[in-house]
Structure 1
Amino acid sequence: MSIRLRLTLWYTGILSLTLLLFGIGLYYLLHFYYYDSVETDLKERADTAYTRIQPRITPTLGGDISFDFVLQGRDLLNNTGTYYQLTSFDNGSQNRSNNLKDLNLYLPEISDSEKQRLARVDYFIDRSTIDSFEILIYNRPIYLSQNGTTRLAGVFQAAVIIESYEKVFALLRLILTVTSLLLVLLAASFGWFLARKALRPIDKVIDAASQIEKGTDLGNRINYDGPQDEIGRLTSTINGMLGRLQNAYTDLEDSYRRQRRFVSDASHELRTPLTTIRGNVDLLEKMWRKTAAVSSDQDRDQLEMSLEAMQDIAGEAERMTRLVNDLLALARADAGFQMEKDAVLLQPLVEQVIRRAQLLPRRAEWIAGDLSALEEAYVLGNKDYLQQLIFIFIENAFKYTEEGFVKLDAVRTADQVGLRIQDTGLGMDKEEVPHIFDRFYRADVSRGKTSGTGLGLSIAKWIIDEHQGSIEVTTRKGEGSMFVVWLPLIGLPTTFESGHSLQPLNQV
């Protein structure tokens, strides 16, 4: 969820809550105030009429007497919107004001529970509905003293119709609801506009930073001409950070450039004396062998010891030569060397590697597996570097496999071909796999047991990357390893010239 949307939702939520509290507060305040005034006015009128109630004695057929109650004439004729009704509990008679008679209505009768309530309070007010009329009723008990006792003899009721008031409050509820919804919608739109306007400089900062991220020139800066508020300070901070990054990157590039030049120059300079050393050692070895053939036994023993020393020198010189060549290859890779590529048919290239691999020093059995997947398999690559790539993995497999076998075969998918080198050697822990292509990295189990510089797999990874390929590694410590080099296939070329584009196999 974007900041703009969150800010808009916050604005809208706060306003909605404010309007809700305001609307509810206003409604119930007006409702309470209005009905309180209505009830107060009703009570005042009813109390005035109550003082003028007159009891009336009515004889019964059995010779007893009962009481009912009547209003004075001006209360009976009351037409101010207040309706009166007197009810006698002795004979159930009711006396109503004329305006109530005109409506042909009777106010609700008092139930037994309400009679008990009347006996406990001075009065009570409740609401009722009569023939769809909403009315407010004031109920007050009528007491009668007889023979020294006071008893509840009837009830006086005064009522006003509040239907018009209810319609007014219903209209008020509708107005508050519609107004609140419109205000919330307007606030959401306005809030979205304000959030968009306020965050527009951040969008510019993001766009500028994205262009800097996608580009290679760290000299670009974010242009901002607004006020020095939070966004302005953020822009200045980012520009300052970019400046420091540019300086650090420039220093790092200079350091790398000097390092690559040193490695390249040192490698070139070391190749010449190493070649001279190896040549002279070979010459001395031949001369001493001839001298040993005609020398005495004592001289022959001394010559043989010297010959062993010369062989050690020759071995170390050869190892240093390999190291120098590897360093030179990596220096070329760091310098952005682009190898020349052509359409290469893999099957004859791999078969040639298999024949030459039989001559490598080894203790394990060499197995050439199924190569049918390489039939008519063309890749865009460099023949010499591809051979070097396969030899690196085969030599590594021989180096770390003391018994068992080393096997080379091929697999194929719709658009890739895989060269699979499998061995039954030392294997590796899974924690070591991510580091095997690092320069000078060698697994702990191989240190002191096998010779090497730790640069072979780094060179192999560079060659794979240059061919847009990938490497798959499966290994288990003590059981062996399997490397699968995947290379993208190209369409079968008919007349191919260097520099022409080739179609991928799945587009042919």
Structure 2
Amino acid sequence: MSIRLRLTLWYTAILSATLLLLGVGLYFFLYYYYFNSLKPDLQRTADVLRTRIQYDGYSFQLNVRDQLRYNNLYFQVVSLEDGGKTLSPSLAETGLELPDLKVTKIRCIVNNECRFDKIQMNNVHFLMYSTPVTVSGLALPGEPVIGIMQAIYEIDDIERLLAMLRLILTVTGLLSILLAASVGWFLARKALRPIEQVIMAANRIERGVDLDKRIEYFGPSDEIGELTQTINGMLERLQTAYSEMEEAYGAQRRFVSDASHELRTPLTTIRGNVDLLEKMWKNVQQGALAPGEVQLEMTLEAMHDISGEAERMSRLVNDLLSLARADAGFQMAKTEIQLLPLLEEVARKAQLLPRTVEFRTGPFEGIGEACIQGNADYIRQLLFIFIENAFKYTDGGFALLDASLDGDQVGIRIEDSGIGMDKEEVPHIFERFYRADPSRGKKAGTGLGLSIAKWIIDEHGGSVEVRTRKNEGTAFTIWLPVLPCKDVAASGGTQGHSLPEGNQV
């Protein structure tokens, strides 16, 4: 049974019980009001008439004037000796016959236990009052009873009124219940409409589609409104989580595919060279090939290839390990680092790297004794990643390493005059295995260096700015927060910085 139907039934049942109580209460109130006010009048009138009844020892005599005075009253006197009845002229004219008195009824009347009765004669309703008659007409205690006086009063008007009242109450109650049930069903449906929308939204969630839709609710801020807002908030969080999960899953698939490809290439080279060496060795053992300088050169070349590919795989595995640590939330150990000696050391070692460009270093004295809170090894790795990229993608021209202070940040700039990039490629260059330009694929590399660099920058609370133009070169500026070397604990958070025509990443 649905909630809507249960609410309607409860509402209808409560209303029905309320109307029933009100109707029954009103009916019995009017019933007792009319009859309780009629009975004393009928009793008082009958008692007055009873005192005027005359008995001559054989029969009862009624005063005619009294009969005319009480023309709305019909009465008769029944003798207990012979059962004879003395009727009032008004009763005789109607032709009505009151029911005969039984012994038990007479005894009850004499004992004053049953005075009033409702009777029906010729489809007319009457209220009858019965009282014992004595010789004195006063019905004193201990006085012999010689007859029973019965007075009746027509109550058809009251009965019709009560019957009409019963009909009105019944019809009104049924119509009210039917109307209330219909209105209750409509209101319950309207009130529970958001819940149906919640169910539909949950079904969409179960199917994994349409997470961008929200439940529309235009009602008051009641419990249903709060529930709708809560569900919408949950849907928004689910949509965000689902989108992030899809992106992460896609990135993971691309990562696995790219990593497999990068690992497969050196493995193929190693396997080919190993097969070549095995073949040469078998030929030597079988005497089909005599050792010589050519074979020695081929062997050395194959070993060099194996060594180079093994080194390449080692670098790739180390890069993957670094990224795996980053994904696992690895927290690198940080200490106070004086930046000037570190930059001078990196510049000196960079001079020894293989390159085809002029390597320039700016004056580092401008940064003074600036310090950063970080890890020296990772800072060196970060700088070498950008410097090696500048050497790799620049044929001729120059590469520059420079540094300067700007407020509470230090900017380390690595610039080259190489192949550059399109601006549309800049947001993707820090993605894993991303190679911005087909020509870059001709250069050795895994496409993981800038991803590692971005992780190191983030771990140090810094940011990186990229300025590039196709075929004109690229400039990376690494911004790191600085602090006084003597007050490491006062180091603040990250503060963004941007240069004109640059892209902050």
TM-score (norm 1): 0.48
User: Which structure has the larger Rg?
Assistant: 2
